[in-house]
């Protein structure tokens, strides 16, 4: 055993170096590929996520701007119709005007309100320092006087930079302009709110001029000039500090040479547009963090690989020493298993023989019950015909007695046919199918049931088509189904004062025979067609009639169903495929 292990242990150190190199090279290639693919996929995914968040913020900014503009646009209309302001302009008494405007400002929540007379002089203002100043030549005053019944929006550029946004409307009374009311819109508060964010935000008017921006130097410039500006303050540097590593995502725009993500949207107000610029810092931080974890994981895997490769043959000698003992134990265990398997095989053969015998006994019991059930009807009819023939002979009417004997002979023939067809219940196929008129089968079944029907005095109604209704079936088995349905209907009407059974044959896509009674109906429809299920008293039935009938109809390619009628009683429907004219001609 020791001599066998020496060559193996001597070969392994010789083959170890090139195997280690191969494994290490494969791990390195796998690591580089995973890192490259992960970097690209993660960058695209996080860029899309950042862009989606930026678009959501952009929609929020746009909604805030439009809401503020719409809310303020209604104020000049209300103030221009204020009776106190109109009366002050008419009388020239403005002692209470500023106080009223200040109270209205606190209630409405606008930036500022100014009231000017017809000469453009401020006669009332929320900022009392503006009283007496003249705006005779300002556009918001001149345009408001010209427009009269229209509220005008004006974005006026300040001398110190930025823009003043205001709504102005002429105060008109008796068709005469008395003055102008001006309401300022404080959009600068949104600049102050945006300045604390990581994104840079700006708004341009319909001419492309920047009117709002987180960077004050951008105001009044075009979008291209603003983005090309070099004097970047600290706030802008915080927003647009882009990383310059090898995996930078494709930029949308450049600000001072720095790559940024750009999103824009239309502001539904005078052709304005809003832009946001987002740096890629957060994207790279997330991607680099995940890549660092991947690289660390590959480093751990490589370390484990070196350890496993160096200890690859650590149990080789011990395994060789235990091999002979394990083989002996395995041989003994195998012999025991062979003996146990032979015993199980013999038990299985005995069980198979027992099961085959049980199956034969079950089949024999089912055949006996079926024969007993199916031969009960012809025997009852023969008993009735024999009694009738005896009476006819006593009354010296031999011709009529011969007719009864002929019917008895037909019943004997039918009993033979039933025994022959019951032999086929245990196997499928072999039936002699032929074109059969369903009307003739109904008439034959009624003829078979005539003694029972007369004894009970049951009213039978038939609704049959005048033309043949041809189906492909075994005539004897089909009559057997109809007789079973008639007998069930007859039994169901035992407790009814005026028993009635309706037979309805309809021809459509299928030939449908409905057997309806006016009995008490069926309580359990789900178990109706199961073998040995019956609601009759012991000795009156074994519960095989409907089960056998359902099997016969299924063999004929049809379907047998049952339901309770709305007017009371049960309805059995047998549906069979109709034999077409071409098929009838071929048959």
pLDDT tens for the chain, 587 residues long, are: 344 444 444 444 444 567 667 777 777 888 788 878 777 777 677 677 777 877 888 888 888 888 888 888 888 888 888 888 888 888 888 888 888 888 888 888 888 899 999 888 989 988 888 888 888 888 888 888 888 788 888 888 887 777 888 889 998 888 888 899 999 888 888 888 887 777 788 898 888 888 888 888 888 888 888 777 654 444 444 444 433 333 344 555 555 556 677 888 888 888 889 888 877 666 666 777 777 777 887 778 777 776 776 666 566 656 766 777 888 888 888 888 898 888 888 887 676 556 544 544 544 454 455 556 667 777 888 888 888 888 888 888 888 888 888 888 888 887 776 665 455 444 444 457 889 999 999 988 887 777 677 777 888 899 999 898 999 888 888 888 888 888 888 888 888 888 889 999 999 889 999 999 988 888 877 777 776 656 666 555 556 677 778 888 888 899 999 888 888 888 999 999 998 655 655 55
> Strands 273-278, 570-577: parallel, antiparallel or unpaired by DSSP?
unpaired
pLDDT of 4: 41
Q: Is 35 helix (H, G, I), strand (E, B) or coil?
A: helix
Beta bridge partners of 259: 254
Distance (Å) of CA 426 to CA 173, 417, 434: 109, 16, 22
User: What is the Cα–Cα distance from 414 to 379, expressed in whole angstroms?
Assistant: 11
Helix axes 97-108 and 83-91, enclosed angle (nearest 10): 160
For 104, list phi and psi in degrees, rounded to 5.
-65, -35
**For every residue of 198-261, which 3-state class applies, written as one string?**
CCEEEEECCCCEEEEECCHHHCCCEHHHHHCCCCCCHHHHHHCCCCCCCCCCCCCEEECCEEEE
Distance (Å) of CA 25 to CA 19, 259, 541: 10, 37, 85
User: What is the Cα–Cα distance from 314 to 9, expressed in whole angstroms?
Assistant: 10
DSSP track, 525-586 = STTTTSTT---SPTTT--S-HHHHHHHHHHHTT-EEEEEE-TTSSEEEEEEEEBPPHHHHHH
User: What is the Cα–Cα distance from 95 to 330, expressed in whole angstroms?
Assistant: 116
Q: Is 517 helix (H, G, I), strand (E, B) or coil?
A: strand
pLDDT of 546: 78
For 324, list phi and psi in degrees, rounded to 5.
-65, -45
pLDDT of 249: 46
User: What is the Cα–Cα distance from 469 to 439, expressed in whole angstroms?
Assistant: 7
pLDDT of 503: 92
pLDDT of 513: 93
Structure tokens at 559: 């379907």
Structure tokens at 193: 């709110």
Structure tokens at 221: 């410039």
pLDDT of 313: 53
pLDDT of 248: 45
Structure tokens at 494: 């035992």
Helix axes 316-394 and 2-80, enclosed angle (nearest 10): 70
| Residue 156 contacts residue 142 (beta carbons within 8 Å) | no
């Amino acid at each position: 055993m020791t001599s066998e292990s020496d060559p193996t242990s001597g070969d392994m150190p010789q083959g170890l170096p090139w195997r280690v190199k191969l494994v290490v090279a494969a791990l390195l290639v796998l690591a580089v590929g995973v890192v490259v693919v992960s970097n690209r996929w993660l960058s695209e995914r996080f860029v899309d996520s950042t862009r989606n968040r930026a678009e959501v913020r952009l929609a929020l900014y746009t909604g805030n701007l439009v809401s503020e503009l719409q809310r303020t646009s209604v104020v000049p209309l209300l103030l221009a119709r204020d009776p106190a302001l109109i009366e002050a302009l008419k009388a020239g008494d403005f002692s209470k005007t500023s106080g009223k405007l200040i109270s209205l400002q606190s209630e409405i929540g606008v930036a500022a309100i100014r009231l000017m007379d017809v000469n453009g002089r401020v006669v009332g203002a929320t900022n009392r320092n503006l009283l007496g100043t003249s705006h005779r030549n300002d556009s918001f005053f001149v345009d408001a006087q010209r427009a009269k019944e229209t509220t005008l929006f004006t974005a006026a550029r300040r001398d110190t930079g930025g823009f003043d946004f205001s709504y102005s409307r002429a105060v008109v009374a008796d068709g005469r302009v008395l003055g102008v009311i001006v309401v300022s819109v404080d959009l600068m508060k949104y600049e102050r709110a945006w300045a604390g964010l990581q994104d840079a935000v700006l708004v341009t008017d319909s001419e492309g001029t920047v009117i709002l921006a987180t960077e004050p130097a951008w105001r009044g410039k075009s979008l291209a000039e603003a983005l090309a500006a070099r004097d970047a303050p600290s706030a802008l540097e915080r927003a647009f500090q882009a990383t310059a590593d090898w995996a930078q995502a494709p930029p949308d725009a450049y600000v001072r040479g720095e790559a940024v993500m750009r999103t824009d949207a239309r502001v539904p107000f005078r052709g304005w547009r809003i832009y946001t610029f987002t740096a890629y810092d957060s994207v790279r931080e997330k991607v680099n963090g995940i890549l660092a974890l991947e690289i660390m994981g590959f480093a751990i895997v490589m370390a484990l690989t070196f350890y496993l490769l160096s200890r690859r043959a650590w149990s080789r000698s011990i395994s060789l020493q235990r091999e002979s003992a394990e083989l002996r134990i395995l041989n003994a265990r195998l012999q025991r298993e062979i003996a146990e398997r032979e015993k199980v095989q013999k038990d299985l053969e005995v069980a198979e023989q027992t099961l085959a015998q049980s199956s034969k006994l079950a089949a024999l019991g089912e055949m006996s019950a079926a024969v007993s059930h199916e031969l009960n009807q012809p025997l009852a009819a023969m008993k009735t015909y024999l009694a009738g023939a005896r009476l006819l002979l006593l009354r010296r009417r031999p011709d009529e007695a011969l007719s009864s004997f002929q019917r008895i002979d037909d019943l004997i023939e039918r009993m033979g046919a039933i025994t022959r067809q019951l032999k086929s219940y245990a196997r499928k196929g072999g039936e002699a199918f032929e074109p059969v008129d369903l009307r003739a089968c109904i008439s034959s079944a009624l003829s078979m049931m005539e003694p029972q029907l007369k004894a009970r005095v049951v009213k039978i109604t038939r609704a049959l088509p005048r033309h043949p209704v041809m189906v492909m079936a075994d005539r004897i088995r089909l009559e057997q189904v109809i007789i079973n349905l008639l007998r069930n209907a007859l039994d169901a009407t035992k407790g009814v004062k005026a028993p009635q059974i309706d037979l309805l044959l309809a021809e459509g896509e299928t030939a449908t025979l409905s057997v309806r009674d006016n009995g008490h109906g069926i309580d359990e429809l789900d178990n109706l067609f199961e073998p040995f299920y019956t609601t009759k008293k012991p000795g009156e039935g074994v519960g095989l009639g409907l089960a056998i009938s359902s099997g016969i109809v299924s063999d004929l390619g049809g379907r047998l169903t049952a339901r309770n009628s709305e007017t009371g009683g049960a309805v059995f429907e047998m549906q069979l495929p109709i034999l077409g004219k071409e098929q009838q001609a071929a048959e």
